[in-house]
Amino acid sequence: MSAMTSQPGPGVPAARADSVSKVYRLGSVEVPALFDVSLSVEAGEMACITGKSGSGKSTLLRQLGLIDRPTSGHIELEGREVSGLSESRRAALRLDRLGYVFQEYALIPALTAQENVYLPALMKGQRRAACRARATELLGQVGLGDRMTHRPKELSGGEQQRVAIARALVNWPAIIFADEPTANLDSISGRTVMETLTRLNRELGVTIVFVSHDPDDRRWATRLVSLRDGRIESDERAAP
């Protein structure tokens, strides 16, 4: 497989939250979700953010992944402060440096697996032939080389999630953010998805930050960050 985009230099975190708080406003009601959270994710880590429902884990992922903006505090990616960037620059950064895997797969029903994978590369202006070749390579890497022409409705949940993983990799991202990637899968499909993410992390060195409430998913991580009521309760390296 082609080399991934270069990781940040020694000592520079892949992603960093500095005193991040997030308050959602529902009409006149304020709903706090994160309280003064600070976290550094090192390049090459496979970090799992855990916690009960409502603990703030998906909210933290959204801040780190530039999907949302913190109410206060700062987010850095590869040593660069990005909280204050314009939305257009944030969108460009998401497309160029970040990959995403969502609980609901977020595939386009009318497109084939191959087309779903290479769409972000087309959005960057790459030639269609190169995009197809890259998608073919990635689908082979996630074990779906024989399913390239299938549409989402013709794929199992586990296969759709692996298509989403391939799509997340298509632009050689520095970091992949995965929000509950196994939540809608049976145990066998969930294991296959986590094995795929782990192998890509180890072989390609891509940093992966994933959210899960499933205790079984935690064993795949090299780093465990547990949230409780919007605050970090514990932060520890996983046993080798």
- Ordered domains of the chain (ranges, CATH): 15-237 (3.40.50.300)
CB atoms closer than 10 angstroms to residue 110: 9
Whether residue 213 contacts residue 179, with contact meaning beta carbons closer than 8 Å, is answered with no
Sheet holding 207-211, edge to edge: 98-101, 175-179, 207-211, 46-50, 223-228, 231-237
Cα angle 131, 193, 97 (rounded to 5 degrees) comes to 45
Query: Is the pLDDT assigned to residue 5 strictly greater than 60?
Result: no
Separation of alpha carbons 74 and 86, rounded Å? 14
Q: What is the pLDDT of residues 198-230, one digit of tens each?
A: 999 999 899 999 999 888 888 999 999 999 999
Q: What is the pLDDT of residues 130-152, one digit of tens each?
A: 999 999 999 999 999 999 999 99
**Secondary element (H or E) of residue 6:** none
Q: What percent of the chain has pLDDT over 90?
A: 87
168, amino acid identity: A
Q: What is the pTM of this model?
A: 0.91
Q: Give the DSSP letter of residue 5.
A: P
193, amino acid identity: V
Whether residue 166 contacts residue 135, with contact meaning beta carbons closer than 8 Å, is answered with yes
| Strand, coil or helix: 127 | coil
**pLDDT confidence of residue 238:** 77
Mean pLDDT score of the chain: 92
Query: Is the pLDDT assigned to residue 8 strictly greater than 70?
Result: no
Whether residue 15 contacts residue 37, with contact meaning beta carbons closer than 8 Å, is answered with no
